[in-house]
Structure formats: structure tokens, C-alpha cells
Structure 1
Amino acid sequence: MHAAVVRSFDRPPRFEEFAVPVPGEGRLPVEMIAAGLHPRVRSGADGTHYTSDGRLPLIPGVDGVGRLPDGQVVYFVAGDGDPGTMAERSVVDPRRAVPLPDGADPVTIAAAMNPAMSSWVALRRRIAFRPGQGVLVLGATGNAGRMAVQIARHLGAGRVVAAGRDPERLALLDGLGATDVVSLAGDPDQADARLGEAAADVDVVLDYTWGGPTERALPAVLTRRADRSAPLDWIEIGSMAGREITLPSAVLRAAALRLMGSGQGSVTARGIVAELPGLMAELTRGTLTADARPVPLADVEEAWTAPVEPGRRLVLTVSA
């Protein structure tokens, strides 16, 4: 078969021949249709993701849409240790697969499920989110952050504060459910003041940045809360700006901050899969929108390094 193959962590994958994977116990062969090029896929391909074991060669891809031997088309999340999904053939654990609803577009599903899943699972599995609560999306200009704005509103958020640096992408968020848009560009102290004023009394933070932006955002928000004893659930989902922060002890003592993460390990695979049908249904209905750009798998090397328009996600396609 042909696949996108990573042979060095400092080079993009190339379209090459590769051995067809042999399904192990509890796995089925799957003919791939589409697989999204997510940030999670990129970090796995360059060896920086926290689950990376450093072994090469590898096929990137953590999820996708494929056809089972009986002809059923499913969305699935690759199991730990299974081959990547950016190939003509892969393997699937049926327990991690969900049939596509009638009318679902495989490219849209492949593009949107991974970025949408992060906030959908965080709000539905990590906390007891209640309609009417306020949500801050920190890093709202990325694809996952953009989906988080839509999902928070869909799940009943009374306010959604969208914060980010890219003005072009920030301008798109008003129409997707953001009630407040905060630019983090420019003078840091002024940006902190804008963020603190807009997000002081939110109930939940969906944090896609970590690093320096989170170090500044934590005190900016917490010190301006009208009631510091009111719980604030700060959910770390991504680390676009850095993998570590310095957290002063006073931040934890001076407010009712509940700091947690959401991702592989903090939610069980069974719990994540249980959320997929509902999320897929909303994407199929058009309640949640995603801008997908299909690219043939054979063009993976060029697509990997090509600039992408704001709000758009690349999807590598294999067959119809």
C-alpha cells in the first residue's frame, strides 16, 4: 500500500510504499477515506507529543473515516500502538469506531471531530457544566479554539469570551457564538487588562495556549473576580505557546481555582467514544461548522508545509 511515512522527526512525511498492516486480535482492517491533519498529528510526527515513544518509521494520523470489510463507513480513533491513519489501509478497534450518520460528509467529519472533541469532551466529561455559565476560550483563534466557541454556546453557555492574538481569525468568532472578543496582541499589560475585564467572572476556562499566555491570564482573571471564592474550572487542553508554566502559590490560595487537564488519560477511551455520536450528529446537521480542504494523500509532503487559510483544516483523502 501507499502511506505518508515519517522517517525523521525533522522532515515532513513522504508518500511511499509501506507494508500493509496486519490486524491483531480485536482489530479489523479498514480502507481509509479521509484523515485530518491536526496539530496533534503534527506533534506526533515530529516526536514532541507527550505520548511519543521516539520510534521510527511511523505513519502519522490519529483518527479518520474509513470503510470496514462489510462496507460500513465509520469514524474511528486509532488505538494506542495501532498504525497511523494517513495510509490507504489501517486497522480499527471496533470499540473506538462510530458509524457515520446518513448525509454525513467524510471530509468534514475527518476535519472536525478531533478539534471539536477537545472542548466537547472537556465540557461534558471533565466538569459538571451547567447552561448559563460563562466560558473563556484562551487561544480561540486556532481550529480547536474556534470549535470550542461554537460548542460552548451550543451546550448552553450564557457568555463565551474568545481570546487570541490573530486579528483576522478573531474577527471570525463573533458570528460563531462569541459574546466578547478579546485581543491579546500588543502591549502585554493592556492585553491583561482587557482580558481581566471581559473574563473576570467566567466559570470555565478552556485553555489551548499554556506557557506564557496562561501565566499572564491566570492572575489577570483571578485578581479581578468579584467573588474569588466562586469556583473557576481552568481546563488545560493544548499547549500552543509552551509546555510549562510557573504557577505562584498565591494564585492557588487567593481564589477557588480548580486546575485540571483534558486529554488522553484524563478521560477514558470508552468515555471519549461515548461522546462521538452526539458530536457527529451536530456536525452532520450543520449546528457546528468546519471549513475543510481536501488534499490527496499523494500530496502529503507539500501539504504538510503549505500555508493554510484561517479557520481551515487540511484533510488527506484516499478514496471515495
Structure 2
Amino acid sequence: MRAAELREPGRPPVVADREAPVCGPGQVLVEVLAAPITPLDLLCATGTSYFGRPATPYVPGVQGVGTVEGRPVWFATPAGMAPGDGSMAELAVARAENVVPLPDGADPVALAALGLSAVAAHMALTWRGELAPGERVIVLGAGGVVGEAAVRLARAAGARRVVAGARSPAARERARRAGADVVVALDTDDVAALAARFAEAADGPVDLVLDPLFGVPAAAAARALGPGGRLVNLGSSAGETSPLDSATLRSRSLRVLGYTNNELTAGQRAEAIAEVAARAADGQLSVAHETVPLADAGHAWQRQADGAAGGRIVLVP
């Protein structure tokens, strides 16, 4: 079979012929239809993540969409986090508990682009953040896959007002297309100035901030929260620390909550994938993505790593 093979940490994979995988106990064979290049794939492949240096060579791809005995499925693998191969190949193996049935007719590329990023957005908003209809929401990093999905999901959940924060002009345009009422430019490190922008855009006290960034944007957005407001953090691309001030937290009795997909049970994850698939099928959920042949995996990998892609790149055999 053909597969993207990562031979050296820190370098793009090389497409090569490999032996087809053989299932072990508790595993199933998946015919891969679509495999996204995700931030987790890129991180693991550097060899500098908290998972340690991966055993090379290996096939990257922590998730994908394919078929098992002709039935459409979403599946996850530990590629890059533990020894073994992932989804960026014509065939892959996955543990049975990491395989989720999908409805017939599901778009494999669109669902691969959404994947666990949309799961994170959905669960951080509804499960961790307890979003209720009629609430005001700020979504930071709204030009990324998690943020773009969160804007659409918040709108579908009946949010009264959705304010998006994004850095680049292209990211702000993606947030607008996703349905944000107002898009705030995250182009300053002045917390007070940025907080004023959020307050004006929200047009009232904010109930929930979804934060994949942390750093200055999180501190500024927190100042727009009303009494009892919640900030759910699920990333740190703007900084590992944030200048959140004690007066803001205490004066409004704010809640700052952490979220990671890693805390989900297999059942919770399966339910979330099913919800994402349903929202995608009825047109309420999508994210910007590109489809690239598996044969061009090396170049696509570099473009995704450099931020030069027009959204999430999805490889197809």
C-alpha cells in the first residue's frame, strides 16, 4: 500500500510503499478515505512534545475517516504518541473502541476536516462551558478549525450574540463567514485596549468565552464577562501564561475552566462525533479545508506547518 512515512522528526513525511497492516487482537482494518493533517500530528512529529520522540519510521495521522467492511466510520489512532502507525495511508488499523460508525452518505473529507477539533469546540461549549440559548459568547482564535467550528456551533445552539477574535485578515474573514456577529482584531498586546474592543462588540455582559489561545487575548476577553461568567481554555497558542488579574476574577466571581479531549470517555467521544456528523449533514457545521492527494503529503505537510494552507488539509488516497 502507499503511505506517508515519517522517517526523521522535524522533517515532512515521504510517500512510500509499505506492507499492508495486519490487525492484532481488538483491532479492525480501515480502508482510509480521508486523513487530516492536524496540529497534534505536527507536534508529535517534532519529537519535542510531552509524548517524547516518536519511534521512526511511522505513518502519522491521529484520526481519519474510512470504511470498515464497507461501512463508513471515523477512527482514531495513537500515531506519534505511542508506537504504531496512523491514518495517512491507504489502509490503517485502529482499536475497535476508537472506531465510530458514521451515517451513510457522510462526506468523508468534510468530517475528517472537522474531526476532533469540532469535538473539542462542541464539548467545550456545551459540556464544559454549559452554553445556554440566549447567552453572549466570545470565541477566540476564531479563524482556526476549533474556533471556526465553535462560532458555527454557538450560533446553532441559539447564542444571542457571537463575538469572534482572530489575528490575521484571512482568519477574520473565515470567522465572518462562519457567522460571527462581530469580529475583533487580535492585533495588540494592550490588554485594556483589547478588552474595550470586546466590550463594545459584545454589546452587553458576556456569559462564556471559548479560549484556544490564552495569553493576552484571554485576559482581555475575561474583562468582558459578566457576573458568574465562564472562560473555558483549551489551548495556549498565544502564550502559556496569561495576565488575568485577580480583581477581574474576584469582582465578578468568574469561573476559569480547562478542557481537553483526552478526558472524554470513548462513549462521550463517540456521541460527540455523532453530533458533529449530524450538524455537518444538516449544513450547520463546516470548516475551511483543502483536499490534497496522498501522493503530495510531504508538500502538504510543510504547507500546513507553515500556516500557508487555506484551512485544514485533508489527504485522500
Instruction: Give the TM-score band, short-chain normalised.
Output: 0.7 to 0.9
Q: Structure 2: how far apart are the matches of 1:136 and 1:161?
A: 5
Which one is further off, 136-145 or 236-245? Answer: 236-245
Partner of 1:27: 27
Is the CA contact (8 Å cut-off) linking 2:138 and 2:221 kept in structure 1? no
Structure 1 residues not aligned, in runs of 5+: none
Percentage of pairs with the same residue: 39
Q: 1:257 aligns with which of 254, 257, 275?
A: 254
Normalised to the residue count of structure 1, the TM-score between the two structures is 0.86
User: Which residue is 1:270 aligned to?
Assistant: 267
Question: How many residues align structurally?
Answer: 309
Q: Shift in Å at residue 201 of structure 1?
A: 1.6
Alignment check: 8 A CA contact 2:189 2:216 kept? no
Q: 2:195 aligns with which of 180, 192, 195?
A: 192
- Tell me how far 1:281 sits from its aligned partner: 1.5
1:317 corresponds to which residue? 316
User: Residue 110 of structure 2 aligns to a residue in which SS?
Assistant: helix
Give the letter for the 2:94 counterpart: V
Distance 1:59 1:261 in 2: 31
Give me the whole-angstrom Cα distance separating, in 2, the residues matched to 1:209 and 1:311.
20
Contact conserved, 1:126 with 1:267, CA < 8 A, in 2? no
Which among 128, 131, 135 is matched to residue 129 of structure 1? 131
Summarize deviations over 1:270-310 as a string: whole Å, max 9, x none.
Answer: 21211211210121222222333211112111111237677
Deviations 1:107-159 (A, max 9, x none): 11111223222111212322332111111101112122111100111112111
Q: 278, 281, 285: which one pairs with 1:284?
A: 281
Asked if residue 213 in structure 1 is aligned to residue 217 in structure 2, the reply is yes
Q: Which residues of structure 2 form unaligned runs of 5+?
A: none
Query: What is the aligned partner in structure 1 of residue 170 from structure 2?
Result: 168
- Residue number in structure 2 paired with 1:108: 110
- Partner of 1:182: helix, strand, or coil? strand
Q: Secondary structure at the match of 2:224?
A: helix
CA shift, 1:8, in A, is 2.6
- Equivalent AA in structure 1 for residue 3 of structure 2: A
For residues 13 and 97 of structure 1, the distance between their equivalents in structure 2, rounded to whole angstroms, comes to 25
Residue 230 of structure 2 aligns to which amino acid in structure 1? Answer: D
How far residue 260 of structure 1 moved from its aligned partner, in angstroms, is 1.7
Q: Give TM-score, length-normalised by structure 2.
A: 0.87
8 Å CA contact 2:145–2:288 kept in 1: the answer is: no
Q: Is the 8 A contact 2:218 2:244 kept in 1?
A: no
Instruction: Tell me the secondary structure at the aligned position of residue 199 of structure 2.
Output: helix
SS of 1:173 mapped into structure 2: helix
Query: Given the superposition, is the C-alpha separation of residues 161 and 311 from structure 1 closer, same or farther in structure 2, using an over 3 Å criterion?
Result: farther
- Note the C-alpha offset of 1:96: 2.6
> How far did residue 187 of structure 1 move?
7.0
Residues 1:88 and 2:95 aligned together: no
